[in-house]
Amino acid sequence: MNAEFKPVAPPDLSDRDRAINRVADAVHRVNDAIQRAVSAGVSVELVRVSRHHDGAGSWGDQMIPLVREVTRPEAAPREGA
């Protein structure tokens, strides 16, 4: 059985610091996924689709990925072929 390692925040962190760590961990996973997608031959663009507000001055961008197939130029016909 393969168990996936998941870092656990130390219990002495504040809720705010835990939230920051969760975002940082998620961004690292997204970056890894983007690198794997690019290696598989697609292009990935992150686009802000909305902004979440808490009503007290804090906000955060919410993103979606746009994944595009790479268009490779077709080989030009060779002379005399």
DSSP labels, the chain: --PPP-----TTS-HHHHHHHHHHHHHHHHHHHHHHHHHTTEEEEEEEEEEEE-SSS-EEEEEEEEEEE--PPPPPPPTT-
Is 1 part of any domain? no
Model confidence pLDDT, tens digit, residues 24-41:
999 999 999 999 999 999
Q: Count structural domains, the chain.
A: 1
Question: What per-residue confidence (pLDDT) applies to 56?
Answer: 97
Q: What residues make up the domain containing 40?
A: 15-53+61-69
Q: Is residue 78 part of a domain?
A: no
Report the chain (81 residues): mean pLDDT per 10 consecutive residues. 67 90 95 96 97 97 94 67 53
Q: What pLDDT, on the 0 to 100 scale, is given for residue 75?
A: 60
Task: Give domain status of residue 4, yes or no.
Answer: no
